[in-house]
Structure formats: C-alpha cells, structure tokens
C-alpha cells in the first residue's frame, strides 16, 4: 500500500474507494511510480489517489460504502427471515432468542417514543436499528485485514465501515427527513403543516417570518444532527483504531482489546440513539393538534 509514513497510513485508511468521471486532458499520477498519464477522453474510473477522488466531484460514488451498506442490509434480511421461518413456540434457538430480544427492545423504543398510529414506524425502527448496528459492527474487524485483501485484488483504497462516511449517514438521515415531511403533510395537510411552521412558537401573524426562520432551521437540523452524530462518533472511533494500529505490536494488543470491548457499547449506543431520535421526530410529524 502507498503508506510510507504514519500520516500517509492514516490518510490511506480514511480514504474511500471512489468511482467517478475524470475529464479529458486530466493528468493522472501513478501513486507508486509517479508516472503521469494524460487522459485522451473523459471516462469513468476508480480514483488512484485522494486528489483524483476529490477532482471527480459530487457525482462520484463511494463503492465501498455502498457495497457494505447493501451487504449488511441483505445480511439483516437473511437472518431475520431465516429465524422467522424456523421460529418455534418450544425451546428457542440462540439466534431466535437474539432476534426476539432485539424485536422487543425496538418495540419498547417505539412504544415510548411514538404516540401516533402508523404500522410502518415499528418495522422502520427495527430496520434502522439492526442495519446501523451491523454497519457499525464492521469497525471491530482489524483495520488492516480487509484493506490488505482489497490491495491484493488491485484496489488501492477500501473502507469497510459505511457509518464512517458522511455520505452513508446522510443517506439514512435524509430518508428519515423525507418521511418526516411526508407524514407532516399527510397527517396535518399541506395547509396545517404550513400553519404549524408559521405560528410556532409565537401565535401571531406579525411574527410569521421569525417563526418560519426558527422552524425551518429546526426542521433542517434534524437530518443534519442525525447524520453528523452517527458519523462523528464512528469516525472518531475508527481514527483511534488506526492510531493504535501504527504503534508497536505489543502495545497494539494492550490498547486494542479494551478499546474494542468499549466500542461494542458505542456501536450499540449509536444505533439506539439514531433510532430513538428518528422515532421521536416521526412522532412529532404525526401530532395534528
């Protein structure tokens, strides 16, 4: 891997596998030989360096984030479907016990945080909690294991924790935000929702502009807060794991094991917080008084 110094090592492990379009005439620099190649025509390709990833712009894809997100989603559906088909009223298996405990845990979150009537909220909360938990759990895999396999396959960069990528966390939070807007309009009506924004917190027509500024900012901070809270905690934990990995081997095990054990709580807590806040926000969207 192209990581000769600790700084380069850290930067390398925090760079996503990016697929995007480079313009014609772009000068590509080989990270190993420093040879320069000029593209004769625009084309889609994998970024060789972080500079190329930046130059690909907004329409570039983080292939590793998308791939691992989809894989964890499929894993979630596979496990729960398998347990549902094999569920028994007798002595349950260990997997059935785990799924039932998770189901009851999320059910309590919805019961305490959601006060409307909507059959979608509980399955949505279960999906978010388990999916985010599984994606966070990828952090417990040693930081060099998957990147080394990817490097052997010819992939220069490869991050495996989707929640350490703001694109991944914003993808989920924007989905929640769109549901908030949808149910706010569906339950209250377009006029009722507009009236709520216009006359809260001060119920006077003269203060409508002030109310709109406050309410719109408050509305937009919901998806931003959800995304950045999850991303910030997961990213910080990933950086600590990477910093431990550049220490001498005997120190790595002294620090890595306690930090990994502690992080089991962190990955669960962050999935819980994201799910709980999403349920609360959707509950607020269903309030029609």
Q: How far apart are the first and last CA of the chain?
A: 59
> What pLDDT sits at residue 204?
82
Please tell me the distance from the alpha carbon of residue 146 to that of residue 240, in angstroms, as a whole number.
17
Q: Select the more confidently predicted residue: 7 or 110.
A: 110
- pLDDT exceeds cutoff 70 at 23: yes
The one-character DSSP state at 15 is -
Q: How many CA atoms, within 13 angstroms, populate the side-chain half-sphere of residue 144? A: 8
pLDDT at residue 49 tops 60: yes
Nearest to 43 by CA among 63, 28, 64: 28
Q: pLDDT-based confidence at 289, cuts 50/70/90? A: low
pTM for the model stands at 0.91
Calculate the alpha carbon distances from 164 to 41, 64, 154, 218 in Å. 33, 11, 23, 25
Strand partners, 38: 27
- Choose from 36-40, 50-54, 179-183, 263-267 the range with maximum mean pLDDT: 179-183
Give me the DSSP letters along 221-248: HHHHHHHHHHHHHHHHHHHHHHHHHTS-
* Pairing label, strands 27-29, 36-38: antiparallel
201 pLDDT band, cuts 50/70/90, is confident
CB within 8 Å of 200: residues ≥ 6 apart: 211, 215
């Amino acid at each position: 891997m192209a990581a000769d110094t600790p700084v380069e090592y850290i930067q390398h492990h925090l760079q996503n596998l990016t697929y995007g379009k480079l313009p014609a005439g772009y000068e590509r620099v080989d990270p190993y030989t420093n040879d320069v190649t000029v593209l004769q025509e625009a084309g889609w390709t994998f970024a060789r360096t972080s500079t190329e990833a930046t130059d690909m712009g907004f329409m570039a894809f983080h292939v590793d984030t998308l791939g691992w997100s989809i894989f964890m989603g499929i894993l979630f559906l596979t496990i729960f479907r398998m347990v549902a088909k094999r569920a028994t009223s007798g002595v349950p298996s260990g997997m059935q016990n785990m799924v039932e405990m998770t189901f009851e845990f999320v059910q309590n979150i919805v019961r305490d945080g959601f006060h409307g009537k909507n059959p979608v909220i509980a399955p949505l909360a279960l999906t978010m909690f388990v999916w985010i938990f599984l994606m966070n759990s990828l952090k417990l895999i040693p930081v060099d294991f998957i990147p080394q396999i990817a490097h052997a396959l010819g992939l220069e960069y490869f991050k495996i924790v989707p929640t350490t990528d703001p694109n991944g966390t914003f993808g989920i939070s924007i989905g929640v935000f769109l549901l908030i807007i949808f149910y706010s309009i569906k339950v209250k009506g377009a006029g009722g929702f507009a009236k709520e924004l216009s006359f809260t917190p001060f119920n006077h027509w003269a203060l409508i502009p002030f109310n709109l500024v406050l309410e719109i900012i408050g509305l937009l901070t919901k998806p931003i807060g959800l995304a950045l809270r999850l991303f910030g905690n997961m990213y910080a934990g990933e950086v600590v794991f990477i910093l431990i990995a550049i220490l001498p081997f005997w120190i790595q095990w002294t620090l890595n094991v306690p930090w990994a054990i502690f992080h089991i709580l962190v990955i669960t807590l962050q999935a819980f917080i994201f799910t709980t806040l999403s349920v609360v926000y959707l509950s607020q969207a269903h309030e029609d008084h």
